[in-house]
């Protein structure tokens, strides 16, 4: 049996699966941010023509997936497997979208790490020869996430300054066994890390140790140089979590500060938009990667990128039962060859 593992936790893709297209859909607030000219679709309102926010979120992820396939000049019937998930009960936005798409579907849940998780699983399937075309995607919606995890919007609760703004957005990545485009070279699957944070309004501090664990493991496994990357992008740590990540990695002897950004800081203007520490949610890294990072890889402005989507694996039940917040991060390394 061939072993594709490098070190303890990193896997090397032998056939280097190719990202042949991406697509992004965002809400009105995101469409007013710094990346407003990069998104494929900006919604006129948060309901997207539906009766509920949850159905709007399902329509968003369906639109992103359909658009990614269209941009690759393929048909939905060409896609052999679909990985999708979101934050909402039983991932019903992704599942309802899959109902309409009629593609063999694997529902996944990694909280806000779901985009990188889907890319990891798609790469494994394609690299293993089990599919030539794998589609993955995820979504989040400010209104659905607030209602499920915090407070109904009607209450008008104030947020502490450590809080972040859940991105209303969906992103999809289409991966092929062949074709032109950036290649997925390595993936590092995360471990669940829990440092005892209990505050659901301080997600950056909760998730940062998981990001550190995965990034450090990648560099330990591969002996790669952080400065060989154009960008290392975490998912949605915001300004506080980003600083914690930099500091903790520096304590371990790894300095990524020259190439490091966070998708939660890229999607909003923290000075002009009231989002406190920045963006969060499954749609955060999904839309920033699909609309901003991938096009720069495609044009070869970026040659090497690491996407580290981060997720907090809490639930309303675990919160009510006074549990701390377990977190995870998955990493995908993409290169132009």
> Using one digit for the tens of pLDDT, what is the confidence trace for 10-50?
999 998 899 999 999 999 999 999 999 999 999 999 999 99
**pLDDT band at 155; cut points 50, 70, 90:** low
pLDDT, residue 2, reads 64
Average pLDDT of the residues in 292-311: 97
Average pLDDT of the residues in 177-199: 96
33, 269 Cβ separation under 8 angstroms: yes
Average pLDDT of the residues in 193-217: 95
| Lookup result for tokens 């917040």 | 325
Instruction: Kindly report, residue by residue over 103-113, the tens digit of the pLDDT.
Output: 999 999 999 99
132 CB-side CA count, 13 A: 5
pLDDT, residue 152, reads 74
Nearest-angstrom CA–CA distance, 268 and 292: 13
**Both tokens of residue 244?**
């914690």
pLDDT, residue 1, reads 45
333, 304 Cβ separation under 8 angstroms: yes
Task: Count the neighbouring beta carbons within 10 Å of the beta carbon of residue 336.
Answer: 16
**pLDDT band at 302; cut points 50, 70, 90:** very high
Share of the chain above pLDDT 70, in %: 98
**Both tokens of residue 104?**
């063999």
Alpha-helical runs (H) found in 5-48: none
Is pLDDT larger for residue 102 or for residue 201?
A: 102
pLDDT, residue 5, reads 92
Rounded to a whole number of angstroms, the distance between the first and last alpha carbons of the chain is 27
Per the prediction, the chain carries an average pLDDT of 95
pLDDT, residue 208, reads 98
Nearest-angstrom CA–CA distance, 194 and 215: 16
**Both tokens of residue 153?**
């919007």
Smallest CA-to-CA distance from 70 within 218, 147, 172, 185 is with 172
E strands in the chain: 5-6, 10-12, 18-26, 41-42, 81-85, 105-107, 133-140, 165-166, 169-176, 183-188, 231-234, 260-262, 279-280, 304-312, 327-335
Task: Count the neighbouring beta carbons within 10 Å of the beta carbon of residue 299.
Answer: 9
Nearest-angstrom CA–CA distance, 228 and 205: 27
Beta bridge mates, 19: 175
Instruction: Kindly report, residue by residue over 141-150, the tens digit of the pLDDT.
Output: 999 998 888 7
How far, rounded to the nearest angstrom, does the alpha carbon of residue 132 sit from its chain's CA centroid? 22
Instruction: Kindly report, residue by residue over 219-256, the tens digit of the pLDDT.
Output: 999 999 999 999 999 999 999 999 999 999 999 999 99
CATH number of 184-335: 3.40.47.40
221, 7 Cβ separation under 8 angstroms: yes
Beta bridge mates, 186: 12, 333
Q: What is this structure's pTM?
A: 0.96
Question: Out of 51-55, 87-91, 155-159, 312-316, which region has the weakest mean confidence (pLDDT)?
Answer: 155-159
| Lookup result for tokens 């579907």 | 105
Distances (CA, A) of 151 to 103, 200, 203: 35, 11, 16
CATH number of 5-176: 3.40.47.40
No. of H helices and E strands in the chain?
A: 10, 15
Smallest CA-to-CA distance from 26 within 1, 57, 52, 65 is with 57
pLDDT, residue 147, reads 87
**Both tokens of residue 108?**
């996944």
Indicate the SS3 state at residue 289: helix
pLDDT, residue 3, reads 82
The residues spanned by each domain of the chain are: 5-176, 184-335
pLDDT, residue 70, reads 98
pLDDT, residue 290, reads 98
């Amino acid at each position: 049996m061939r072993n594709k593992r490098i070190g303890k936790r990193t896997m090397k893709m032998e056939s280097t699966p190719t990202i042949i297209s991406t697509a992004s859909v965002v809400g009105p607030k995101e469409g007013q941010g710094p990346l407003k000219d990069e998104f494929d679709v900006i919604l006129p309102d948060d309901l997207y023509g539906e009766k509920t926010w949850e159905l709007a979120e399902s329509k968003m992820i369906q639109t992103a997936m359909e658009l990614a396939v269209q941009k690759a000049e393929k048909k939905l019937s060409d896609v052999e497997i679909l990985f999708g998930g979101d934050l909402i009960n039983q991932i019903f936005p992704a599942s309802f979208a899959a109902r309409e798409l009629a593609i063999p579907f694997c529902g996944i849940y990694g909280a806000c790490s779901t985009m990188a998780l889907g890319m990891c699983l798609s790469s494994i399937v394609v690299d293993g020869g089990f599919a030539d075309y794998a589609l993955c995607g995820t979504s989040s919606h400010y209104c659905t996430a607030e209602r499920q995890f915090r407070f109904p919007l009607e209450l008008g609760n104030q947020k502490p300054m450590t809080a972040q703004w859940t991105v209303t957005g969906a992103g999809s990545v289409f991966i092929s066994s062949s074709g032109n485009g950036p290649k997925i070279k390595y993936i590092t699957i995360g471990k669940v890390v829990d440092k005892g944070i209990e505050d659901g309004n301080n997600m950056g501090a909760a998730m940062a140790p998981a990001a550190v664990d995965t990034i450090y493991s990648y560099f330990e496994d591969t002996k790669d140089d952080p400065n060989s990357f154009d960008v290392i992008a975490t998912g949605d740590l915001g300004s506080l979590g980003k600083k914690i990540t930099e500091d903790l990695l520096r304590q371990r002897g790894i300095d990524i500060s020259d190439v490091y950004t966070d998708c939660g800081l890229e999607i909003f203007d923290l000075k002009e938009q009231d989002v406190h520490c920045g963006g969060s949610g499954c749609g955060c890294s999904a839309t920033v990667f699909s609309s901003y990072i991938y096009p720069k890889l495609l044009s070869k402005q970026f040659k090497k990128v690491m996407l580290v989507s981060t997720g907090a694996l809490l639930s309303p039940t675990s919160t009510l039962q006074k549990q701390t917040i377990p977190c995870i991060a998955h990493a995908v390394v993409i290169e132009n060859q």
